[in-house]
A and B are shown apart, each in its own frame.
Chain A
Amino acid sequence: MTDAKPLLEARQVFKGFFGNPVLKGVDIALLPGRVHALLGENGAGKSTLINLLSGALQPDSGAIVVDGKPVGRFSPAAARAAGIAVVQQELSLTADLSIAENIGLGAFPRRFGLIDYAALHRGVREVCDMVGLTEPLDMPVADLALGRRQMVEIAKALYRKPRVLILDEPTSSLSAHEAGILARLIETLRDRGTALLYISHRLNEVQALCSHVTVLKDGGVTADQSLSGIDGEGLVRLMVGRETGDLFPPRAVSSPGALRISVEGFSAGLVRDIGFSARAGEIVGIGGLVGQGQEDLLLGLYGAIPARAAKAEVSGKPGLPAHVGAANAAGLVYVPADRKHEGLVLPHSIASNLILPSLGRLARGGLRDRAAETNLIADLARRLTIKGDVARPVQALSGGNQQKVALAKWLPLDPSVLLLNDPTRGVDIETKREIYHMLRAFAAEGRLIVIVSSDTPELVHISDRVVVLREGRVAAQLSGTAITEEAIVGAAMGVNTQGVAA
């Protein structure tokens, strides 16, 4: 591959959303006949880069280069014309249409303006044979299991006869057998001279299939090198590590108190049969890749989604909270990750958001007690350093201050357990610092804090203990000096690293 010309390149691309830079000058070059791995932690910018390479998004600056020529306005249609196909993580299928129609969608063979079903049949048959799809081609996609739909998605990409094939976590919903078929397919395509970009969190797959790797971290490239001679731990090391400065408060000498949460055989949503316990005064971090059951663990404990447990004790009472009201009564509160939709009533004032959970408690004789409310609001605003007029609508605040309001509104209930879902997502650095100190202070007051975070350094520095989930199960329990970024990312990706100790 020494003298092969790249088929598709990104050169110094920058992309930001709402003033938040996601990609900061990224280069990548896809060569024919090479399987190129793209690695990075959650939020490193992988999806954004794929969207730029496939024309779904436009770079703010920098260029997408096809066959050595920079392209102006890149669109999905232009990308397809250039022979670029993407297997997206979210499927692009239409449930009510047949397998054949889904595969041909957007690239139908035509005769007299009509879809040429005979030609479609031949083409689709060929790609289905390649990916081992034996289902009748007239079957609606709605009748297929998720893994089979993923294979249809792959067949759909192949149908376009791509010169460049981008696979975004293609194996996450595949069985071992299907993944094996895909692996052989990738090798076949590579030998035919297709350029492949392979995104996966399964490092063993990456090592087996890929020969070159680009590692993204915080929107920048930290490695662009051959994969030979790098092992799993080496890859993990390339993905982690960041200067944290004095962002985090010093870890207190923890002396955990009474048992607040103890569940065994707990299942809720994606979470399968796990054991979990936590004590008063602890900060317990929940880590893992996106969507491994972290949110469902919190929601299950909070009584917001159906949950089962073989044995459970929450806040000294046996059993799980049956619903959110019961959880609140037991001293549990939950701050959702999606504060704009789930945590706050955006057009309402800061004041009315702050007192929302306390309205009933403050009422006297069924009527609102304005004086008590005003006192409470003033008190909360002072404690959380929410500056300015509390009559402003909450949507006028920055993300960080919105998060403080979402957190502060629960304090009057004097919660004993705070379940926090990614509380610092999209929060500026200064507010992050404030939130971290606040969490430390809550723990010192004897509250239990369970925090789900996609930010690994945050988990390392704020948590007394970290539980890493992978595919709904506990992949690792880390405490004390065993909490390192390498250990968390390694466990999240299923790599065995040393230092995994309870």
Chain B
Amino acid sequence: MSAVSSPNWLYGAIQRRRNRSLGGLYLVVAAFLILYAVLFPGILSVGGFSKFTQNWFPLALVTMAQALLMLNGGITLAIGPLVSLGAVIAATTMGTALGVPGGFLAVAVTGLAIGAVIGVIVAHLRLPAIIVTLAGSFIITGVALILLPRPGGFIPGWLSNTLAGHTPVAFLLLVVVLVLWKAFLATPLGLGIYAAGDNPVGAFRSGVPVERVKIVAFALSGLLAALAGLFVAAQTGSGDPIIGAPFTLNSIAAAVLGGVGFLGGKGTMRGAICGSLLLSVMINVMFFLGFPPVAQYVAQGLIIVGAVAVPELLAQWRARR
């Protein structure tokens, strides 16, 4: 036990441990993917895989944006409006002198800045995140509608084709985002998100800059949501000031499906990503099985309640024995 086998032994062992208790989720995701491939074999082609991952990509980004805050003991209701604002800014800037790089930068800076402002309010004024982000969601929606009252704007065709064409660029981008997240989590600040979420007083006494961690978490969350908006704009070829609305609740649903707790510090990002994949596949499967849209909503709700209740009931059952 006391021998250091290799320099990376500890890191690897910790990472492997994090997969524990996610086995069931992995199985369910795999089962749904197989079902999906059976129902719709097209996913096995490059084009089909690309389209599938393009549908999943924005949900994966906003789920990360949400899980990041839930792990830190917070929550955000501003995800959807931030997606809309990201789409609107992309569609209104890329046709101007700023061009595509300027548009990218504008979206990223806006997401980071709005997130950071919300984070400062939550961390330093000690207001509840749910209220601050609710207020923020109204303001952001309003700003998006002022910038672009009705769907429109301009996204260069080549950008749409690159991001949402017949190549799996979206999937590769997701891999890049996940690698960056892993790197972030290997910094003291990244682990501070967990620590400050689970035991803020203890983290403070241990020397974790709890407030700074919270602001960074909100800023990164804002960045991810705004970038998801940029992608959605590229997918549709234009900006729509209310296109992000469903993402708010779907991001929470996917994070919860992935086992991220509401009280902070509980859960993993890989779980949340699996949750978003599961939600995305479920929606697609129900669509292909011909569920009417209303039934889809009901089924989605039941599955989410079940996903939270089953582990809880299992734990109670084990405790009683």
Enumerate chain A interface residues (CB-CB to B < 8 A): 54, 56, 76-77, 80, 86, 88, 90-98, 100-101, 105-108, 110, 113-115, 117-118, 120-122, 125, 129, 134, 136-140, 156
**Which listed segment binds A: B8-16, B157-165, B218-226?**
B8-16
Our pick among B10, B187, B205 for the contact of A120 (Cβ within 8 Å) is B10
Contact in complex: A54, B205 (CB < 8 Å): yes
A51 nearest CB neighbor, chain B only = B205
Given A96-B198, A97-B191, A110-B188, does the pair A136, B2 have CB atoms closer than 8 Å?
no
Q: Which residues of B contact A101 (CB under 8 A)?
A: 14, 191
A94 CA to B201 CA, complexed, in Å: 11
Contact in complex: A105, B10 (CB < 8 Å): no
Q: Which residues of A contact B191 (CB under 8 A)?
A: 97, 101, 105, 108, 115
Nearest-Cβ distance from residue B18 to partner chain A, whole angstroms: 9
Q: Does B290 contact A (CB under 8 A)?
A: no
A-B contact pairs, 23 of them (CB 8 A): A56-B205, A76-B206, A80-B207, A86-B205, A90-B201, A92-B202, A94-B198, A96-B194, A96-B198, A96-B267, A97-B191, A97-B195, A98-B17, A106-B203, A107-B206, A107-B207, A108-B191, A117-B11, A117-B186, A118-B10, A136-B13, A140-B17, A156-B206
Our pick among A56, A100, A113 for the contact of B10 (Cβ within 8 Å) is A100
Given A98-B17, A106-B203, A115-B187, does the pair A121, B198 have CB atoms closer than 8 Å?
no
Nearest-Cβ distance from residue A231 to partner chain B, whole angstroms: 35
Q: Does B4 contact A (CB under 8 A)?
A: yes
Contact in complex: B265, A95 (CB < 8 Å): yes
A99 nearest CB neighbor, chain B only = B14
Q: Does B288 contact A (CB under 8 A)?
A: no
Our pick among A91, A121, A125 for the contact of B202 (Cβ within 8 Å) is A91
B196 nearest CB neighbor, chain A only = A94
Q: Does B27 contact A (CB under 8 A)?
A: no
Q: Does B310 contact A (CB under 8 A)?
A: no
Q: Which residues of A contact B233 (CB under 8 A)?
A: none
Given A98-B17, A122-B4, A129-B2, does the pair A93, B202 have CB atoms closer than 8 Å?
yes
Contact in complex: B1, A138 (CB < 8 Å): no
Q: Does B297 contact A (CB under 8 A)?
A: no
Give B188-240 interface residues, CB cut-off 8 Å to A: 188, 191-192, 194-195, 198-199, 201-208
Q: Which residues of B contact A140 (CB under 8 A)?
A: 17
Q: Which residues of A contact B202 (CB under 8 A)?
A: 88, 90-94
Contact in complex: B265, A92 (CB < 8 Å): no
Q: Which residues of B contact A94 (CB under 8 A)?
A: 194-195, 198-199, 202-203, 265
User: Digit string of B263-290 for contact with A (CB within 8 Å is 1, else 0)?
Assistant: 0011100000000000000000000000
A266 CA to B9 CA, complexed, in Å: 50
Given A117-B8, A122-B4, A139-B17, does the pair A96, B206 have CB atoms closer than 8 Å?
no
User: Digit string of B155-194 for contact with A (CB within 8 Å is 1, else 0)?
Assistant: 0000000000000000000000000000100111001101
A101 CA to B185 CA, complexed, in Å: 12
A56 CA to B8 CA, complexed, in Å: 35
Contact in complex: A93, B199 (CB < 8 Å): yes
Q: Does B292 contact A (CB under 8 A)?
A: no
Given A98-B17, A117-B11, A125-B2, does the pair A92, B198 have CB atoms closer than 8 Å?
no
Q: Does B24 contact A (CB under 8 A)?
A: no
Our pick among B4, B187, B195, B204 for the contact of A121 (Cβ within 8 Å) is B4
Q: Which residues of A contact B4 (CB under 8 A)?
A: 118, 121-122, 125
Having A80-B207, A92-B203, A106-B208, one finds 10 other A-B pairs with CB under 8 Å, namely A56-B204, A92-B202, A94-B203, A97-B195, A101-B14, A105-B192, A105-B208, A115-B191, A121-B9, A129-B2
Q: Which residues of B contact A98 (CB under 8 A)?
A: 14, 17
Nearest-Cβ distance from residue A34 to partner chain B, whole angstroms: 24
Q: Which residues of A contact B7 (CB under 8 A)?
A: 117-118
A108 CA to B17 CA, complexed, in Å: 20
A310 CA to B13 CA, complexed, in Å: 49
A88 nearest CB neighbor, chain B only = B205
Q: Which residues of B contact A96 (CB under 8 A)?
A: 194, 198, 265-267
Nearest-Cβ distance from residue A158 to partner chain B, whole angstroms: 13
Give B116-169 interface residues, CB cut-off 8 Å to A: none
Contact in complex: B13, A108 (CB < 8 Å): no
Q: Which residues of B contact A90 (CB under 8 A)?
A: 201-202
Given A108-B188, A121-B10, A122-B4, does the pair A95, B198 have CB atoms closer than 8 Å?
yes
A262 CA to B175 CA, complexed, in Å: 67
Q: Which residues of A contact B14 (CB under 8 A)?
A: 98, 100-101, 117, 138
Nearest-Cβ distance from residue A150 to partner chain B, whole angstroms: 13
A304 CA to B206 CA, complexed, in Å: 36
